[in-house]
Amino acid sequence: MAFFLGVDVGTSNVKALVVDGRGRAVARASEPLALRTPHPGWAEQDPNAWWKAAARAIQRAVGRGRAARKIDAVGLSGQMHSSVFLDAKNKVIRPALLWCDGRTSAECRQITERVGEENLRDWVSNPALEGFTLPKVLWLRNHEPEAFRRLAKVLLPKDYIRWQLTGGLATDFSDAAGTLMLDVAHRRWSREILDALDLPQDLVPEVGESTAVLGTISAAAARATGLAAGTPVVGGGADNACGAVGVGAVAPGAVVASWGTSGTVVCPTDAPKVDPQMRAHTFCHAAPDTWYVMGVMLTAGGAFAWYRQQLAPELARKKDADILLNKEAAKVPIGAQGLTFLPYLQGERTPHRDAEARAAFVGLSLAHTRAHLTRAVLEGICFGLRDSLEIIASLGMDVRDVMITGGGASAPFVRQLQADVYGKPVVPVDQAEGPALGAALLAAVGVGGFRDLTAAAEIVKRRPPVAPRPAAHAAYEEPYRRFRALYPALRAAAR
């Protein structure tokens, strides 16, 4: 029996997952990571801590000695955008600036002023946002010039693990697409943007396909992890791309909405389609000659977790807290009797591109109860995800149904709520393994374990669809219109 390993470098942990030749999970392990916040709005991690956690997780998942499984190939996934700064000897210069680090607003303005929105759209298919890698490079140049003078290479988190495993510096197109340095449409590094910002072309590593073998396990890594020296390591992918692979969203026509701490809507496409206003992202997918449009909510499940902890503390300690809150919310009419929640607790990306956006309850009265607030929060999250679906539809992509994963797929009330708000059938996907599974499937495809990613996607099990109720969808049009009108009104009042 063949076995394949997927390793996912997240923000809170590193996961290792072993799957067999049929794509079934047979072993898993997770190691926690610490987050450093030296100033408000900053977020950093030590890349060497990622490696130590990855080595431990791999050891536990693969096993030791005679009980160890022979792994046929390794795939890597990881948090997008986060920057690893290496010197000429491949030593880490300083802690990595993470995807959620917000210190680079001035650098984003610098990029936009130097390059222009039109060139950003043409050269890299995305706007300059604080989360991306390129603004972090400029921040290093502007604020830590001595460290910048030592800078020889910028890597992404999973690719630092690749270097530790193989000794090679490389990345894949899906992860490179989130750096703001890749020509997404033509799948090559953008010489134009690097030249415009006076950055050397060799700052970035070799780039290849997600299923291409980009290195093999070194003898030193074999000793550290229990993997066999010479085991192939494929390109792997960004966590969102690997997450889409893990739920079977690899070809045009598939749409997946995911609730984690953040929320995403991913729609694969066979051509690089870019929203004229760049409200959504356009990235390379892990499948060859495939791209995806992605809308991002910075707080989706995170907004509900905040609400549960802060406004329902007596329930937060109970295992069935979400079930109890959902039952309360189900008793409240559609639209929460005029109460609207804007879920912008940490700013927003889609559709507003505003790091300073903030959350609000609007329309409160003495008639409202906690149940109304709960329903408003859940509706607000669904409205935010619908914003992304509306952008995707405006680009001419046909959304027939929406696969749902994460917290949005966990409860019957929330599944029906999404169907009614979107006006589309929602299809829950029985897949809790996330990006680590996608990385393992990429490894399997890379060495011939599956014919291609379409064949690998056939392992995904989908539950019966939940159909929208026509009357309920019609009833949501007015609350959704109210939701969309509130952000510009409140933003104008706050300036």
Q: Which tokens is 280 given? A: 């959504």
What whole-number distance in Å separates Cα of residue 383 and Cα of residue 359? 14
Q: Do residues 371 and 329 lie in contact, with contact meaning Cβ atoms separated by under 8 Å?
A: yes
Q: Which tokens is 127 given? A: 């706007």
- Beta bridge partner(s), residue 294: 266, 281
**Helix (H) and strand (E) counts for the chain?**
19, 23
Q: Tokens 């300036």 belong to which residue?
A: 495
Q: Residue 257: enclosing H or E segment and its boundaries? A: strand 256-259
Query: What DSSP character marks residue 282?
Result: E
Closest CA to 253 of 383, 398, 134: 398
- Beta bridge partner(s), residue 463: none
Closest CA to 80 of 10, 165, 15: 10
Active site residue 239: yes
Q: Do residues 425 and 466 lie in contact, with contact meaning Cβ atoms separated by under 8 Å?
A: yes
Please pick, among 239, 322, 387, 420, the residue that the annotation labels catalytic: 239
What is the separation of C-alpha 477 from the centre of its chain, rounded to a whole number of angstroms? 29
Closest CA to 12 of 57, 58, 64, 63: 57
Residue 172, Ramachandran bin (φ over 0: left; ψ between -120 and 50: alpha; else beta)? beta
Active site residues: 239
